[in-house]
Structure 1
Amino acid sequence: MLTETPAVLVADGRRGFGQVLARRLVVALAEKCRPLGIACGTLKNCGHVGRLAEWVELAARHGFAAMMSVNDNGVLKCVAPPGGLDARISTNPLGLAVPTSGEPLVLDLSTSVVANGKVKAKLLAGEPCPSGWLQDANGNPTTDPASRFSENPGTLLPLGGEAHGYKGFGLGLLLDVLVGGLSGGWCPPADPSETGTNNVLMVLWDSSRFAGTSHFLGEADKLIDYVRSTPRKPGVDRITLPGDRSEAIRRERLASGIPLDAGTWTMLCGAAKELGVALP
């Protein structure tokens, strides 16, 4: 712990396992938030925390509204500004969740068109990327995932794509400053000696200390129902909300298992052999 007040904590993760540290951060902020109504915490030098949705959803299931973002300590740069050729920031994701009378409403998005890891997954699977994800080193649109990881790498487009990427890039830029600046970590460009860890920013709110929990849940439920009731275009089965697709995939994976592409399976087999672990 570097700094602590009744509503704030600032900690150094010391390159610990990110998914352990993120859970501890949620628990610590929940304890601070209940008596005060709001709490904010940061981590620097934190291992990869994984999906932000997991942590904001955890907070929402305990009755808190939550916001979370991370940067990559100024080391990983993969998103170019609109009109630019070289990457200047990372994907700088944003996670938001609110409790409802049912399941939490959860949003988890990168401020680029797509997460960098999804491009890597396409590369391992030997598949092209969809149009609109990437530009090559010369600024030309490309669907080749290898262009992102070449010696002269291309970049991800900001959220909003070629026409409206200023929106996603602006959001990613401001989140980078908030996360790096408040945590004590770095924004790009980091010193060459720095390691590409996560820096983390998280805020919790307790609605009971504001307009009241019953009002908050009532408004959340009302809005969700109102949006779901939107008249649909021909061929549209239902209006989807943030988290619907992930929940559908989760149910499918629980029933049918998690598919692995050949490239990922080969990597896992190689790691197992190196460590002397028998394959299933």
Structure 2
Amino acid sequence: MAEEIVTTAAAGSDDNEGGVGSPWFWRGLALPGTAWVLLFFVAPLYVVLAIIFGSIDPILRQPVPVWDPLHWDFSQFNYVMGRIFGSDAYFRPAVLRTIEYVAIASFLCLLIAYPVAYFTARFAGRWKGVILACLIAPFWISYMMRMLAWINLLQNDGLVNRALSAGGLFDVHEAWLSGHGSTVVLGLVYGYVPYMILPLFAGLDRAPVSMLEAARDLGASRWQTFWRVTWPLTRSAVVVSLLVTTLPMLGDYFTNDLLSGSPSTSMIGNLINNAVLTPGQTGQAGAFVLVILVISVLPMFLYVRSTRSGTDIAV
């Protein structure tokens, strides 16, 4: 009997060496994801760095990437950094304006998206599928077409001014499309709020209802139940939704071009677009991309920190 137990244990350990418990098994599962990151993130990032710290063809005015880090030229990068943080801060207003617009638009998106996602996950019932289909429907229409619809609404004789004039009772001729920062923020909110609703819905839909019912049975009010149970359970989903919306907003240039077109509302994305279209400034465009990458590291760090800390509930 003892020999059979030893033989069975030895066979189990042999199977475990190449089975689910083996570290090589999990490394194999991680191999496709690792290859994807190397191919579509690390390699393009190195190409961007080679262009930023490369040189410019003096005749064709085209970027010449330098692949050897020992021969990198920091002149273009220093030029951009000097005009962001130096005394001649020509690009600083656009950078600060981008952070301001993105912060306000993300906050407004959260105010709109969280109640919608909460209602869909908790109270929609059999209409949940219909509501989700309506939330996904904007993705079927191009971003440009949706922004063009706002142009028709916000032009001088558009529906917005007509509504504000109350059918002609008031004289309202506000030029919403002539350099208004609020119009750009409105466009960002409208364009990116669906990206925030779906991750929030996924997080709220996974939250166990039994914990909410237990909090109510223990005498917690609706606000206490939300603050001490629902919010901690969905904190990671909130961070994910903010990442999904904030990162593309940082590089957005199309919204400002369509709804404003004024240098007074330009963002980092507009600086990148202008640098790409100007011969000899591709390296400066890459430097702006690197600035966006550095700015986006903070929300990424918050997401990693929230996932590591888990979803502990404050009591």
Q: Same fold (TM over 0.5)?
A: no
- TM superposition score category, shorter chain reference: under 0.3
- If each structure's strand is expressed as a fraction of its own residues, which one has the higher value? 1
- If each structure's helix is expressed as a fraction of its own residues, which one has the higher value? 2
What TM-score comes out, normalization by structure 1 length?
0.22
**Structure whose CA Rg is larger:** 2
